[in-house]
Every structure is written in structure tokens, then in C-alpha cells.
């Protein structure tokens, strides 16, 4: 079965500091990986996704993630945090074992706080 693990339910950084949110996956087949962001009182919004090809994926708002098969990781980074980045971030993998159901399997989320 596929699964996603996000290390750290809460991460706090200072404004201007590097943001690193960790995601590890488990999959017996090449995974399709996603990062979603949830701002307060809003739905989830896609930040970026990895399907095939280039392993460094750039997303919106200056975020990027690198697919590392050897480490089964898909960590999210941003060089310089802004106050507006404060949100909850979810890593997800497409459920490739469940047929063509388009289901996403989510991690438990990481709440990012940005201190002034």
C-alpha cells in the first residue's frame, strides 16, 4: 500500500529563513507526488506536483520540491520565508494501486508558523 509520512506536525521559522518541510513516501510503483497548501479557513490549493521527468519541481509562491527516489523523499523548500507562507502544508501521493480512482493519499500535515 502507498503511504506518506510528514515529519514534524509544527514547524516554526523566522521571516527570511529557509523553509524545509519533510515528506517521505512509500510506494511499490513510481509515485505521483503532490504538495498542497491550506491557508486559514480556506480549501487546499496545489503548490506543485511531480509526475515524471525532472526531479526538481518548481511551484507557486517560490516553493520547490525535489523527488529523491533513493531516499523516498519529496521535501518542500523555499529559500526565504514570508509571513504570508504561514499555513498548513500537505504532502500527498496518487493512489496508483486503487485503479483509476484519482484518489489522493495525504500525509498528516505540517503547520508552518513564520515569526517576524
Q: Which among 31, 69, 63 is positioned nearest to 50, based on CA atoms? A: 31
Q: Which of residues 73, 107, 112, 114 is near another protein by CB under 8 A?
A: 107
96 DSSP 8-state letter: T
Binding piece for another protein, criterion CB under 8 A, among 17-25, 61-69, 77-85, 105-113: 105-113
Distance of CA 12 to the CA centre of its chain: 16
Are the C-beta atoms of residues 48 and 60 closer than 8 Å to each other? yes
* 113 touching another protein, by CB under 8 A: no
Closest to another protein by CB, 32 vs 86, is: 32
The answer to whether 100 contacts another protein (rule: CB under 8 A) is yes
Instruction: Give the separation between CA 85 and CA 45, rounded to whole angstroms.
Output: 13
- Contacting positions for another protein (CB under 8 A): 9, 32, 36, 41-46, 49, 51, 90, 94-96, 100-104, 106-109
Amino acid at each position: 500500500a502507498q503511504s506518506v509520512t510528514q515529519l514534524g506536525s509544527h514547524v516554526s521559522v523566522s521571516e527570511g529563513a529557509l523553509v524545509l518541510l519533510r515528506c517521505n513516501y512509500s510506494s511499490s510503483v513510481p509515485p505521483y507526488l503532490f504538495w498542497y497548501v491550506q491557508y486559514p479557513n480556506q480549501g487546499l490549493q496545489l503548490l506543485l506536483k511531480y509526475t515524471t521527468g525532472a526531479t526538481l519541481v518548481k511551484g507557486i509562491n517560490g516553493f520547490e520540491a525535489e523527488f529523491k527516489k533513493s531516499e523516498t523523499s519529496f521535501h518542500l523548500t523555499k529559500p526565504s520565508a514570508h509571513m504570508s507562507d504561514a499555513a498548513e502544508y500537505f504532502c500527498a501521493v496518487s493512489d496508483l494501486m486503487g485503479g483509476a480512482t484519482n484518489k489522493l493519499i495525504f500525509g498528516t500535515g505540517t503547520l508552518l508558523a513564520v515569526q517576524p
